[in-house]
Amino acid sequence: MLDFVIKENHDEWKQDCKERFTSMKKRAWHTFLLIVLLGCASTPDNGSVSLTATDVPNISIQPSITSQPPLPVPVTETLTQLEINQECIETKSDSQKNSEGILVFQKEYGSRLVFVDNQTGNQKFVPDDANAKVWGAYVSPNGKWLIYELDPGDRSGEHKFILAKADGITQEEMLFGDWNVSSIFWLNNNALRVTQPDNAVTYISNFTLDPFNGAKVPLRSDFPGIEGRGIDWGIDRNAIELGVTKGINIIYDPTLTRVLYPRNDNSVSLFNLETNQEIAKLSAPGRGRLPKWSPDGRQIAIIGTMSDSSKGEILDEFLLVSRDGSDAKRLSFPSSVFKKVHIEDYSWSPDGSRVAFWLKTDNTTSTTAQNPVELAVLDLETNEITNYCISGTTTIEYETYTDLVNILWSPDGTQLLIVRYNNEDNKNTDEVIVDLTNKTAYKVAENMQPIGWMISEQ
C-alpha cells in the first residue's frame, strides 16, 4: 500500500466547498462543461464570439517574439471545405454484437461502478462492499487501467485512490488524506493530471501523479502573458464554480513537452517546454473552445466559431494546429449548404486519425428535444464527415444534478459508445454501441453513466 498524503488539513475550506457544490445541485466532476456546450455560440466568456461582416473569420499563426532567438518555423495556413456524407445506421435490439472488452458504468454519481463484459453481458459491481461510494472514476487512454476515489461509507474508513485493471481487482492503493482535489484525469497511460486550489482559492496548482508509485511532479503554470480571467476550456468545473481561473486553462500534451494556453492579448499561445520558447500565437474567435491534443500529441484540435451576423451564419469548425506550430488547418462546413453548425463536444480516436463529435445543423432531421444532436465522424485523412443519423445527448438529467456524457471510442477504434434518451420514455437513457465497421448499433445498458472502455486481459 502506498501512503500518499499530499496536502495539510483544510477542513473549513473543504466543508465550505461541499456546501456550495451541494447547493448547486450538480455533479462535482464534469457539469461545468454544460455552460460551454449551451452558450458557446454567442458568449465570448464561454469560448466563442459572433463576428461582424467586416471581421476576418480565420486564424493566423505568427512567429513569437521571445528573449531567445525564435525557432525557424515556416508558417502555413490552409482552409479545407469538408465533404459531408450521410450513412444512416438504425439502432436495433437484435443486431449482432461484435464488441470486445469491458464497459465501465456508474448508475449515478457516488454509486459503485458497474463492469459489463461485452462478450457475455455479465455485470460485476466494484467495489464489493455495497455501502462503499465512488466519487470519481477514470480509464487510461489505452484502456488498461482504471483509477477511482473510494469512500468506504463510514466514518472509520479512509478515502483512497484505487488503481485497478479490467477485472476490477485492486492493484494499488493511495491514501486520499486531506488532498483537496479539484479535478483529475489521465494525461497519458502513465500519468494523471491533478489540479487543486490554494488555501485562499485564488489559483490552481497543477501536478502529475504517477498512479503506479505515487510520485508527484509539479507542472509549470507561470507562462508569459497567460490569461487569468474567466476563460472556460473545460478543464476544471469545481474551480470555475468557485471563481478560480488562474492556472486552469493550460493544455499539456501527452509528452508533457508542449502546452497551449490563452493569452491576455486575446490570442492563444503554443509553448515549447523543452526550449522554454513560445512557438507560435494562434488568433481564433473567442480563443476557441475545448482544445484537445491528439493521443499521439502530434496536433491539437480547437473548435472555432466562424460567424457572419449580417448573413445570420453561425458556423463551428475544427481548427487543427501541429505541435511545432508550422501548420494550421481550418476544417470548415460549406456555407452554401449550412447557415448554422454547432459542434457540442468531440473525442479523438485512439490512433488520432478520426474525430467523433456531436453535430447540430439547420438541416438536422433525426434529432428531438431530448436527443438534440447527431453523431458524426470526421476522417482527417480524407477530410470527409460521415453523419450516421443517430441522435443523442451530451447531458443526463438526474433528480438533483445534471451530468455530462461524451462519446467513448473502443480501444481498437472500430466502435463508439454513446448515450441517448429512450424514445419511448424521455426519462430513461439507452447506452448504445455504434459499430462503424459493420454499420450496426445496439443497446448495451440503460440508465447508466459511461465511464470508460477497458481491455480485458486473458
Judged against a pLDDT cut of 90, whether residue 38 lies above it is answered with no
Least confident of 111-125, 136-150, 416-430: 416-430
User: Residue 71: what pLDDT?
Assistant: 44
Give the mean model confidence (pLDDT) for residues 358-370. Answer: 88
Topology of domain 11-454 in CATH is: Methylamine Dehydrogenase; Chain H (2.130.10)
Least confident of 65-74, 267-276, 318-327: 65-74
Q: Which three cell numbers stand for residue 121?
A: 453481458
User: Residue 230: what pLDDT?
Assistant: 67
Contact 371, 393 (CB under 8 A): yes
pLDDT tens, position by position, 239-287:
777 777 677 889 999 999 999 999 888 889 999 999 999 998 887 776 7
What are the percentages of helix, strand and coil residues in the chain, rounded to 5?
A: 10, 45, 50
User: Residue 23: what pLDDT?
Assistant: 40
Instruction: Write the CA distances from 15 to 149, 151, 383, integer angstroms.
Output: 18, 16, 50
Give the mean model confidence (pLDDT) for residues 161-186. Answer: 86
Judged against a pLDDT cut of 50, whether residue 189 lies above it is answered with yes
User: Residue 67: what pLDDT?
Assistant: 43
pLDDT band at 179 (very low <50, low <70, confident <90, very high): low
Of 247, 302, 318, 366, the residue nearest 82 (C-alpha): 318
Q: Name the H helices within 176-292.
A: 237-241
Give the mean model confidence (pLDDT) for residues 356-375. Answer: 91
Q: State the Cα–Cα distance between residues 75 and 175, nearest whole angstrom.
A: 48
Instruction: Write the CA distances from 33 to 4, 26, 46, 47, 121, integer angstroms.
Output: 30, 12, 10, 11, 32
- Name the average pLDDT for the chain: 80
User: Residue 62: what pLDDT?
Assistant: 46
Q: State the Cα–Cα distance between residues 281 and 275, nearest whole angstrom.
A: 16
pLDDT band at 200 (very low <50, low <70, confident <90, very high): low
User: Residue 315: what pLDDT?
Assistant: 87
User: Residue 246: what pLDDT?
Assistant: 74
Q: Which residues of 416-440 are buried (b: 16+ CB within 10 A; e: fewer)?
A: bbbbbbeeeeeeebbbbbbbbeeeb
Regarding pTM above 0.85, the answer is: no
Judged against a pLDDT cut of 70, whether residue 32 lies above it is answered with no
